[in-house]
Structure 1
């Protein structure tokens, strides 16, 4: 899991919109949910997802205040899923019972490892079956090169080549802030990805729309309190770091069962 120092945390753009009361309330809920996960790690998520059975006491976790609060907070976090049919930075059906939001940086080595070693299995097993939707969020925490790559990825996405562009960048294993991700190099990645209109790509890359999209994703990560990448929300359940595929499988399957059992509550409906 790649982590940035607190002192190096990027500031919000002065043009960013201040949160409304509803967003502020959601931020408090998000912070509480993340605090629960930080206190109990993935164990809390696993307890809630599997129905909260406590084998030592014989009681169900759902009967405890912690599990009840966590369920409510996870449902609130699940509302961050956009489920936009036109989103080029997403894979899978908008009606999938499980949405995994992925916050990543193009200079993050652990993000690259996740995309190479774990995500393909999740796509084959769940996305292609209609059970999982993956929504990418650009979260460039390592500086200007990360932000430039994020805008370039967004621009590639406007021509339907985001995922191919992402692969091209990660295949190159760029070192952090080494001067590798220059505008010309990013254009090379776009060409490798098959972006058909390079003039449009360059225009989109430097557009206000690209900056707005990046700011929206970044501010969402800031509101969540994310300080390292990759970070995930799986139907609202926070997962930090490039965990083993078995852990993602367990959480996805349990989230799917929970969503079906609760009639869509886990989807933030």
Structure 2
């Protein structure tokens, strides 16, 4: 497990519960990989690094403890796909993460078309802001957009080419909300700074750190850990294997 050496504000919570993270990670044997950290050019998807520096452990299997983290809440505004879909992909991501953007633009749409639309897959988002104050603000803004049913539209706008480079200051978040089709911008602004938004983001972040996740994006596919901007084929294989296991149990 890579040590947390970043001093970015978003990592403070991880340092505070570092011992618990290490114990959980060692017990569950998950997220055994070498990944980029906040503060590096690679971590934010620099031009010199087109793919994540990830060495995923091919021996990683399915962990029942992790499979239980799929919330399967039909009212979850930060999820798409049927609540009872046989496979759930949980994504822990940051809107300032270049590799998260790569996944959102290049891989996720294909997974939605191939697996979500036919009822095989459900995707559940978890805010995991580890790149500082703007990451935290963008996470709360995404949650706020979700309260008006526009999370995935905000997600698309925030991960569009060039969006990250413009930053996520307050005026940019409002502009992204407009692009996403959020109707009530006054409510959006209030929700962004609300205690409910902060609590929701903190809940997701705590969950990621307790898993032992130290970088973004990190994923669970029915309890099987995957890390980094893996090729689409990696996700497709994991999804199809998970679906087949569910069919075998019927």
Q: The TM-score by the shorter chain falls in which range?
A: 0.7 to 0.9
How many residues are matched? 224
Cα distance change of structure 1 residues 175 and 128 upon mapping to structure 2, 3 Å threshold = closer
Equivalent of 1:166 in 150, 155, 162: 155
Distance 1:228 1:29 in 2: 16
| Residue-by-residue CA offset, 1:177-233 (whole Å, 9 max, x unaligned) | x7x211111001001100000011011111000000000000001101111111100
Q: Which runs of 5+ in 2 are unaligned?
A: 35-54
Q: Report which of the two has the higher share of helix.
A: 1
Cα distance change of structure 1 residues 170 and 38 upon mapping to structure 2, 3 Å threshold = closer
Shift of 1:31: 3.9
Q: 1:145 and 2:118 equivalent? A: no
Shift of 1:258: 1.1
RMSD, aligned α-carbons: 2.7
What is the TM-score with the length of structure 2 in the denominator?
A: 0.82
Residue in structure 1 matched with residue 231 of structure 2 by the alignment: 244
Q: Say whether the 8 Å CA contact 2:30–2:212 is kept in structure 1.
A: no
Distance 2:4 2:116 in 1: 34
Q: Say whether the 8 Å CA contact 2:96–2:131 is kept in structure 1.
A: yes
Q: Say whether the 8 Å CA contact 1:155–1:210 is kept in structure 2.
A: yes
Q: Say whether the 8 Å CA contact 2:157–2:163 is kept in structure 1.
A: no
Q: 1:91 and 2:106 equivalent? A: no
What is the TM-score with the length of structure 1 in the denominator?
A: 0.76
Equivalent of 2:173 in 181, 186, 199: 186
Residue in structure 2 matched with residue 33 of structure 1 by the alignment: 28
Match of 1:142, SS state, is coil
Q: 1:154 and 2:143 equivalent? A: yes
Distance 1:198 1:121 in 2: 31
Match of 1:11, SS state, is helix
Residue in structure 1 matched with residue 40 of structure 2 by the alignment: none
Distance 1:112 1:41 in 2: 19
Shift of 1:27: 8.7
Q: Say whether the 8 Å CA contact 1:104–1:229 is kept in structure 2.
A: yes
Match of 2:29, SS state, is helix
Residue in structure 2 matched with residue 195 of structure 1 by the alignment: 182
Distance 2:141 2:224 in 1: 29
Bigger radius of gyration: 1
Residue in structure 1 matched with residue 121 of structure 2 by the alignment: 132
Say which is worse superposed, 165-174 or 95-104, in terms of deviation.
165-174
Shift of 1:261: 1.8
Shift of 1:123: 0.4
| Residue-by-residue CA offset, 1:125-168 (whole Å, 9 max, x unaligned) | 10001100000000001000000000000000000000101111
